[in-house]
Amino acid sequence: MTRLILPLVAATAATTLYGADWPDVKYSEVRAYYYNATSQHDCRILDGKGRLDASVVGKNGVVLNADQVARLLAAINGQQRIHPITACYVPHHAFIFYNSWGRRVAVFEFCLECLKASPDPNNTGPYYNYPALAELIADLHLPLGPKFKDPAAYKRRYDRMLRTRS
């Protein structure tokens, strides 16, 4: 009996050491948004009062289905390629997680070009699967941003960015 309990206790301890996957909050819906088409530095999806920024295109966002949410969480929480962290931050995309009452409980905004994100709650990162995020954004029929034509072009640019920065 002790042989069975000990591995179970060790596995439980390891789980608490590493914590839960982001966002580690209960949510019932995730919506994707495109904003900041003029490429302002440090533009946030939410203004100082917690409202969607005026630059958001499609104020209702795009609702993700269960498969798309799984892809998003894999891009955030899965094994990531290490890359330099840039000083710039010009985000164009965000995913907002809502609870069953329609209240915002988590936000993941990011910049495909800067390879930087600003998650809230801020308990993940700093590395994410940006090519997978680009694929998901394209599948949701949102623009990739002013500099990227499609996910394949983004992936080529991403690989080139990592080669030149390493």
In a domain, 4, yes or no: no
pLDDT score recorded for residue 14: 33
In a domain, 11, yes or no: no
pLDDT score recorded for residue 165: 62
In a domain, 153, yes or no: yes
In a domain, 9, yes or no: no
In a domain, 102, yes or no: yes
The pTM (predicted TM-score) of the whole model is 0.85
Segment (H or E) for 109: strand 104-111
Residue 39, by phi and psi: left (phi above 0), alpha (psi -120 to 50) or beta?
left
Domain count across the chain = 1
pLDDT score recorded for residue 73: 97
The answer to whether 162 and 81 are in contact (CB under 8 A) is: yes
pLDDT score recorded for residue 138: 98
pLDDT score recorded for residue 23: 96
What is the DSSP-derived secondary structure letter of residue 149? Answer: S
In a domain, 13, yes or no: no
Q: Range of 92's domain?
A: 21-165
Neighbours of 150 (CB within 10 A): 11
The answer to whether 106 and 77 are in contact (CB under 8 A) is: no
In a domain, 40, yes or no: yes
In a domain, 12, yes or no: no
The answer to whether 99 and 148 are in contact (CB under 8 A) is: no
- In angstroms, how far apart are the furthest CA atoms of the chain? 64
Per-residue pLDDT of the chain (166 residues; tens, 9 = 90+): 444 444 443 333 333 334 469 999 999 999 999 999 999 999 999 998 999 999 999 999 999 999 999 999 999 999 888 888 788 999 999 999 999 999 999 999 999 999 999 999 999 889 999 999 999 999 999 999 888 889 999 999 999 988 876 5
What amino acid occupies position 5?
A: I
C-alpha 73/C-alpha 22 separation (Å) is: 7
